Structure 1
Amino acid sequence: MEKIKYLVIILITLLSFSSCASFSEKIIENKTTPLTQEKLQHIEGTYAMKSYDSYIKLNIDKEVQPLKEPKNNTISELTNGQSLDEIVLDKVKVDVKIVADDKIRFLYRIQDSIIKKDSFTFKLQENGMLHLENREIDSSGIPHFIGRIEIKKSRIGLSKNNDLLINHVYFKSNVALILGYSLKNNTSFYFKRLSK
């Protein structure tokens, strides 16, 4: 019985932190072409692997700022947390395809050679963005009391000029008794459309 209580407390805590890792609407405001169920195929196409533009909104800032030194600036790192060899990044192209009403595929290739594939289920939100089911939660200890939690998640959409837009959230909280530290940032990255 005690184990069940402990698990329930941990689940409630994780869910409360998960809501702290919410997306900022301000970072994509007036920068997207909203998708609808009928127009999901508009996101399909071939894109460059590396972003050409990026912005950040920290939890302590009210304004959206250009990201001066983007770190996670590839489609692969933002969707599945995996990086590819720096040597080949400029050669990699990413084919994005809707493969079911709620599933999207990313195919990474150099010319006709496939490097890897990723598929994610998604939910189409009212704002016209696709929220990927790629949430990563890493925790230790007892969050809120003594512990640590990290949450990462992404949503994708189309920019005004028809390029791929990825909005990424990173939330981290460390607590030791009453002393605590938390960081939350929203970043948006833009990837050039190479072909439909």
Structure 2
Amino acid sequence: MSAYTPPPSSLAGPALDQCAQLAWPEAAGAAVIILAFATALPPDWLLGPSAAKFDFPLVLLGLGQQLGGMGNAVREKFYAVARAAALLRRLAPRAAVIVVDAWDTMVVNGVTASTETLLRRVSRGDRQLLSGECNSWPRCYRPLLAADDAGRRCLGQPGALCFGNSGAYAASAAALVDALLPASVRELRGEGV
């Protein structure tokens, strides 16, 4: 694996313009694009085959990369997602981009009428749909969680790490760039969020 070097903070310029000229007709007309980050894939990987079964375009970031420790891995992952979203903003501006965990997620059905309505709302403007995982890393916002019923249940479980890692979130590509880029650039510079 090669060492991961984050690209420059700019999401504009000739490199992005060149990438945006790629022909990817499946993305251009897609209502939904699935995006995931993984440096390697397990032998029983289900996300790719299940996305293909339901004709969801899948963007997989990070394969073959070696990330710089757990803290850096989180920062670099979100930065990579922001950069990919910048490209998707040009390739598929009307699609809902669903960012998921690469290893423990699979697609179990296609788009239904109710999910289509929800995703249409998410793909327009700056709305985002977030899910949460109780047991994740790196920070535990204990005071905020202690004030919430579900948070208290999480805190009461043995060994629980209570940072609300979003195991899946959906937004327009533009909203993902707006949400993730400023924070991830500050984190990569060591300035905190």
Identify the TM-score tier after normalising by the shorter chain.
under 0.3
| Structure with the greater alpha carbon radius of gyration | 1
Structure number with higher helix proportion: 2
Instruction: State the TM-score, normalized to the length of structure 2.
Output: 0.25
Higher strand share: 1
